[in-house]
Structure 1
């Protein structure tokens, strides 16, 4: 199979634990592009945050952000695909979180908002190298267009909360985890799988000609959609179970291993 498009998750996949793209992985990315392959990023991060890391790689293509709710060009910032959390669902979720005193964050115009500053917000902003904004009258934001709302809490608690939110919000939304303590809520089509299908069509290739590489449960839709779904060596076990290939970890240039084996045929 000749692969024409590679979609790569960022955190714990493309970048190592030092939040860097290693020189070896960078060289592999460049070689893939030189070979005529479209290399894109697929992340739960906001566009502004993902753009910083994309600049580190030198990529100049549309990238998948907010778990697939926004596909946007790096070069000119043109929006190619956008899906917002339905207002009805956003209002229900916001009300539920306020009533149960949960830490909820939302994105408006690619800016991160929360009701108050706390350790969860500060740690999240530092992790994503993102500035945050406080809005004490938080409820007024719930009716504004947002690609993603996010709850931060104990992993076990979020595992119990997710089915409750599914029941509350119905099939209007897609709920997933990017990290054990991040529960993320998007439009029902706000998945990396939907976005990958869009980009495959955009670049004139089939899903069979796509490679998807990730490490967490929010990557499973794109691994299932792609012709070759790759789980990193450090991926969660459920993702490894559905992967076509398991690479080395993000600290062992796992992305380079995939490119060398399946694109450059080394």
Structure 2
């Protein structure tokens, strides 16, 4: 029996137009009415995720910033908070400068950039969030960052990811959320760790969880959930570990999965 569904946003719940289809909204409401907890598990910052949570009328803790922060949709309680350390935060800023890669950092639900360029502007439009330009990102690093995001050409970021992994190893969680987005969080901050923490707080077993995602940063989500569902548009590396591959994000893949495993499970021969 499913008691908790954790759904990624971009490339999963959202269409390529960054919308949730009306039929999917209706299905999620039906799942909630059946007594199942539905939450979001996204790399997006909390203010961006909250807008979709409000649209879905979710009043549960949301997994945001790749799992670095779990916070009530109503912002009354922070359940989980794992920032990047001060030392690693400072080193990431240095590496961005050395390799000439755009960097933006997150702290207290604000995204900061040292420059007002196309990368941060495009990110703000896509996420429907505001941003703050500050000359010296190092001045914020003492507190540590919720998340660090690098934006660039996919192949350049692939090479840069290898550089980061060689330097930090297990002391940081490094994953792509999109071909042009490379994200760094605390090693305890990933969607799988956050999902298990939330489930434990709610008294839900791992076997009672469905996780739905599409990209590399959803690996822990898919592997942690009792049933890992990957979108038809998902990356091949994630599909290879999926328990079930649903339809694409533009073909209401989340709706299909919810019908298959929660709303009408008797129709599923598996």
Gaps of 5+ in 1: none
CA contact (8 A) 1:105 1:151 kept: yes
Change in 2 beyond 3 A, CA 1:87/1:170: farther
Counterpart residue number, 1:157 = 156
Instruction: Compute the RMSD of aligned alpha carbons.
Output: 1.0
Equivalent residues of 2:89, 2:144 under 8 A apart: no
> Residues 232, 244 of structure 1: CA spacing in aligned structure 2 closer, same or farther, 3 A cutoff?
same
Following superposition, the deviation at residue 216 of structure 1 comes to 0.5
Q: Which residue of 2 aligns with 1:48?
A: 47
Q: Does the aligned pair in 2 maintain the 1:94–1:142 contact within 8 Å?
A: no
The 2-side partners of 1:258 and 1:157 are apart by 35
Q: Tell me the TM-score normalised to structure 1 length.
A: 0.97
1:235 pairs with 2:234: yes
Shift of 1:223: 0.4
Residue of structure 2 equivalent to 1:126: 125
Following superposition, the deviation at residue 186 of structure 1 comes to 0.1
**Runs of 4+ in structure 1 displaced over 4 angstroms?**
none
Structure 1 residue 144: deviation in Å?
A: 2.6
Matched residue, 1:250: 249
Distance 1:85 1:231 in 2: 28
> Which position in structure 1 is the counterpart of 2:113?
114
The structural deviation recorded for 1:200 is: 1.1
1:13/1:249 contact within 8 Å kept? yes
Give, in whole Å, the separation in 2 of the partners of 1:77 and 1:71: 11
Which deviates more, 39-48 or 87-96? Answer: 87-96
Q: In structure 2, how many angstroms separate the alpha carbons of the residues matched to 1:201 and 1:182?
A: 30
- Map Cα deviations across residues 178-229 of structure 1 (whole Å, 9 max, x no partner): 1001010000011000011011101111111100000101001010011100
TM-score by length of structure 2 reads 0.96
Retained in 1: the 8 A contact 2:48–2:128? yes
The alignment of Structure 1 onto Structure 2 pairs a total of residues equal to 265
Instruction: Name structure 2 gaps, 5 residues minimum.
Output: none
Secondary structure in 2 matching 1:233: coil
Which whole-Å CA distance do the structure 1 matches of 2:247 and 2:169 have between them? 37
* CA distance, structure 1, for counterparts of residue 70 and residue 238 of structure 2: 23
1:117-160 CA-to-partner distances (Å, cap 9, x unmatched) read 11111111111111010011222122233110011111111111
* In the alignment, structure 1 residue 19 sits paired with structure 2 residue 18: yes
Kept after mapping to 2: 8 A contact 1:94/1:139: yes
